[in-house]
Structure 1
Amino acid sequence: MANTQQSEHSPAEKIMTLLHDAENDYKQSNPNSQKWHERAIRVLPGGNTRSILHTDPFPIYMDRGEGNRLIDVDGHEYLDLVGEMTAGVCGHSNPIIRDAIISTVTKTGLNLGATTAAELGFAEQVRSRFPSMEQIRFCNSGTEANIYALSIARQATGLSKVIVFNGAYHGGVLTFVHGASVNTIDRNDWVVGSYNDHEGVQRLISENRGKAAAVLVEGMQGAGGCIPGSAKFMHAIQKATKENGILFILDEVITSRLAPGGLQSTILDPHDGTPLKPDITTLGKWIAGGMTIGAFGGRQELLSIYDPRPASESAMQGKPAQMSHSGTFNNNTLAMHVGLVVLSSVYTPAVCTELNALGDWFRQELLDRCQGTRMTVTGVGAVCNIHFGAHEDQREILRIEHLDERHSKADSSLRDFFWFQAVQKGFWIARRGMVTLTMGTTRLELREFIEFVEDFARSTRSLLC
């Protein structure tokens, strides 16, 4: 690493020089990835079909994953700290999941076009973990789960507006960073509030009584920087939605892996200690061990909207009109069988508790190494985000606006330089700074990353202060 003390240039200029050198080293170290990228841009826009995975000057092409390790096409090995953006909590080659896949293919078959017992078993496992999900339906992704949850809210209330929060990510077409999603066709139906503003959210919900069908919120904003929602804020939403006839939808696509009962089980009312009980919860990512999956569920009277039986057979009377929910892969045999074993035998409550305790220790160790610099870490359990641009004399990071207020071009360059250095040292993290732990990761492995962060902070202290 270049000696930052020798140059007379400004800190921003020094950072740009370091970044330029790191990019050149990256290019020289990854010739095969560059070749694959040059081939890919001929058939894929920008050589990519998943925007978050693009990296300038070109992405690393991975060859395979083993346990909590990745090996790229140039033969470099990495400790996987991306964890498939939280979906890969079980790692890349769990033997129970492997056996479930093989057994399903050889004994059951794929896409039977019929109902199976595994579908029921998986649903029962989900409900046992998340009691607020009295009834459940499966789909193909967390994005779909949130879309279907919103369709329930709109059908049940007859209203169209939805309250969301700046910095939210509820799926590929439901992104609300710096305002309403550019991918939604009904932009006027979104009311964007400020995350962790418990007084403001109460006013916002009250002002939209008779207009808004639902509040859709994450218990921790994932793509928004792993910013946890305060108990005061989350319970203010629950109370105000109930008082104003608006449905409370909790997006636990990411956060459901942070505790055996999801984050909703740990966010306790400051007054009476009760956990959250959303009207509808959405799940996805990890719950089928790497298979494509989404799920949404909640109160039985709400889920009855998707009850396909004739109305005369339904136990619910006076319910809203029924809607159809079809999808070729909703009960795909691989997703159903693997999901069943993941919840029952792989990512058990005990394993979940242990991994997230490790994550809390890891995050605190990182915070200790960042003291006195503009680096900080936010998150819950085994999911966190390293940020550049924080200052000790400024307020706590409670919402994405706080990150925006502190973030400069130099901070972005420093974050990129940090990523190049991490990759060079064999640590695979998200370029935006997100880090997620997978099963099987040890304290010894994490200590190596902690030491890397400590060395980085020490060697660039003049640029970080």
Structure 2
Amino acid sequence: MTDRIQTAYSEAEARYVAANSASRAAHETATASLPGGNTRSVLHWEPYPLYIISAEGYTLRDADGHTYVDLLGEYSAGIYGHSHPVLLAAITETAQRGLSYGGPHAAEARLAMLIKDRFRSIERVRFTNSGTEANLMALAAAKAFTGRYRGKIIVFDGAYHGGVLLFPLGCKDIWGAKEEAERASKYKVLRALNAPHDFLVATYNDIASVDALIESVPGCLDNIAAILLEPMLGSGGGVCATPEFLSHLRHRADELGALLIFDEVMTSRMYAGGGIQSELDVRPDLTTLGKYIGGGMSFGAFGGREDVMALFDPRAPGALPHAGTFNNNVLTMNVGATGLERVFTPEKARELHDLGDEVRDRINGLGDDAPGPGKKRLRVLGCGSILVFHFTGTSIENIASPADWKADEDPRLLDLFHLEMLHEGFYLARRGYVALNLALLEQDGRGELDRFVNAVQRFVVKFRDLVE
């Protein structure tokens, strides 16, 4: 970290502290009962996070009375914005008929049919309460269907598939290391946190890496149960998989007799609302979903080929049990179905996707593409309405995995960018993650996005000795 970055960050942090005394007090109160005052790690930042007291449309209001344009979009779960009248009406109408039934009801079949219509690879679907659960169940299905109960799972460095399925950049070598080499690693605790599967970690977008990993497994044709990946890395910085890479994974999964699983928990919103797979020639065996599809309620789902999902058919002898008190919660099912039918239509999905691409292109067009020696260029990765900011000297066309942007990225520049954007009135993740919501499609929302692009340009000009 250069002295200039540290000086600029210290000034921004002092301004932040002076403007947010109520949030600071709320944070200090929370630390008495929550470790670090927090029960969701990603929402913490230094010196302390803002405490939100209300939300409406595309705006948030904090404990100190500041109003922000919400560009975080609840990490892609908040696609409807806040307090959408159609969804509020659905919540009220549903709640008046009872919050939980303990039995099947029509809304779950209605939501399932809507999902089938949008995701071409999903022939049957089952619901969970989160994307994490969805991925856990998809892996269980893959092992059961292949009969490889001790089979290995291929995943990718920099991927995130839920709270117990984390593969941060740099874990690749540790996952394959002997215990002695692992002891000093910062990833040891994360490895202990993960669900107990035998994972093989490959490099994203690297066909040779995948092939070498497969060949390293004795009896690979009988010992690999699944390949699990995000078509766009969410926590991995918005890096998109190439069509060639995905086609190769499809070929290798078929060759191995393994299942190919697409984690589209974040990316299901893409294009016309059918996920990244809707624009590919590659079809996964299983797809996992989550986030916004529950209309703002807790939601997850896994689905795919009818023969694989038949494992969970309770009419069949020996069917796999799939429990979950709130799997078919009537609020989630009814509000989720209403959202897909009446609000996040395929037409609106495409409009939001195109808006995100437009904003990304505008920001990537700021300044010269060739930063000076030792300087970082602001670059925005992602797809459609998910944008991820980076400060790196590596050009976008040369970024194929998280290692490519992280090789020279100074995270304190992102910290500085985060505080500067908050000062400008824009709420986004500290790591530079942005997920646009439908409320921003309205004329005044588009105006706020224009203001955001201008704020980013002011940041680049203000800190031009650090960023070009």
TM-score normalised per structure 2: 0.90
1:265 matched residue in structure 2? 278
What is the Cα deviation at residue 185 of structure 1?
5.3
User: Which of 174, 182, 191 is 1:182 aligned to?
Assistant: 191
Determine the C-alpha separation between the residues in 2 that align with 1:391 and 1:401: 11
What is the Cα deviation at residue 209 of structure 1?
2.6
2:388 matched to 1:385?
Answer: yes
2:140 matched residue in structure 1? 151
Contact 2:120 2:278 in 1 (8 A): no
Determine the C-alpha separation between the residues in 2 that align with 1:136 and 1:87: 20
2:223 matched residue in structure 1? 211
1:188-207 C-alpha deviation (Å, 9 max, x unpaired)? 70000000112332443455
Aligned partner letter, 2:278: S
1:463 matched residue in structure 2? 466
Identity %: 42
Provide the secondary structure at the position in 2 that maps to 1:464. Answer: coil
2:330 matched to 1:349?
Answer: no
Determine the C-alpha separation between the residues in 2 that align with 1:276 and 1:288: 26
1:300-351 C-alpha deviation (Å, 9 max, x unpaired)? 111111111143xxxxxxxxx5210011000001000011111111111000
2:307 matched to 1:295?
Answer: no
1:355-409 C-alpha deviation (Å, 9 max, x unpaired)? 01000000000101153442111010000101012344x96111011122122xx
Determine the C-alpha separation between the residues in 1 that align with 2:70 and 2:380: 18
2:77 matched residue in structure 1? 87
Aligned partner letter, 2:124: Q
What is the Cα deviation at residue 243 of structure 1?
1.6
1:423-447 C-alpha deviation (Å, 9 max, x unpaired)? 0110001000011100021332111
Contact 1:18 1:417 in 2 (8 A): yes
Contact 1:283 1:296 in 2 (8 A): yes
CA gap of 1:185–1:353, structure 2 versus 1, over 3 A, is closer
Q: Comparing 162-171 with 255-264, which one deviates more in the overlay?
A: 255-264
Determine the C-alpha separation between the residues in 2 that align with 1:76 and 1:67: 15
Contact 1:129 1:261 in 2 (8 A): yes
CA gap of 1:140–1:370, structure 2 versus 1, over 3 A, is farther
1:279 matched residue in structure 2? 285
Determine the C-alpha separation between the residues in 1 that align with 2:152 and 2:368: 43
TM-score normalised per structure 1: 0.90
Contact 2:87 2:335 in 1 (8 A): yes
Equivalent residue runs for 1:155-234 within 5 Å:
155-159=144-148, 160-177=151-168, 178-179=170-171, 180=175, 181-184=190-193, 189-205=198-214, 207=217, 208-234=220-246
Determine the C-alpha separation between the residues in 1 that align with 2:453 and 2:411: 21
Aligned partner letter, 1:15: I
Equivalent residue runs for 1:18-417 within 5 Å:
18-106=8-96, 108-159=97-148, 160-177=151-168, 178-179=170-171, 180=175, 181-184=190-193, 189-205=198-214, 207=217, 208-259=220-271, 260-267=273-280, 275-311=281-317, 321-372=318-369, 373=371, 374-392=377-395, 396-407=398-409, 411-417=410-416
Determine the C-alpha separation between the residues in 1 that align with 2:421 and 2:86: 31
Determine the C-alpha separation between the residues in 1 that align with 2:393 and 2:33: 41
Contact 2:165 2:194 in 1 (8 A): no
Q: Comparing 343-352 with 206-215, which one deviates more in the overlay?
A: 206-215
Determine the C-alpha separation between the residues in 1 that align with 2:195 and 2:428: 35
Provide the secondary structure at the position in 2 that maps to 1:85. Answer: helix
Determine the C-alpha separation between the residues in 1 that align with 2:420 and 2:193: 37
CA RMSD of aligned residues (A): 1.5
What is the Cα deviation at residue 235 of structure 1?
1.1
Count how many residue pairs are aligned between Structure 1 and Structure 2: 434
Aligned partner letter, 1:459: K
Determine the C-alpha separation between the residues in 2 that align with 1:96 and 1:143: 28
Provide the secondary structure at the position in 2 that maps to 1:210. Answer: helix
What is the Cα deviation at residue 120 of structure 1?
0.6
Contact 1:173 1:183 in 2 (8 A): no
Structure 1 runs not aligned, ≥5 long: 1-10, 268-274, 312-320
What is the Cα deviation at residue 266 of structure 1?
1.2
Contact 1:174 1:183 in 2 (8 A): no
Determine the C-alpha separation between the residues in 2 that align with 1:239 and 1:369: 40
CA gap of 1:379–1:395, structure 2 versus 1, over 3 A, is closer
CA gap of 1:27–1:361, structure 2 versus 1, over 3 A, is same
2:437 matched to 1:438?
Answer: yes
What is the Cα deviation at residue 452 of structure 1?
0.8
Which runs of structure 1 show a deviation greater than 4 angstroms over 4 or more consecutive aligned residues?
Answer: 183-188
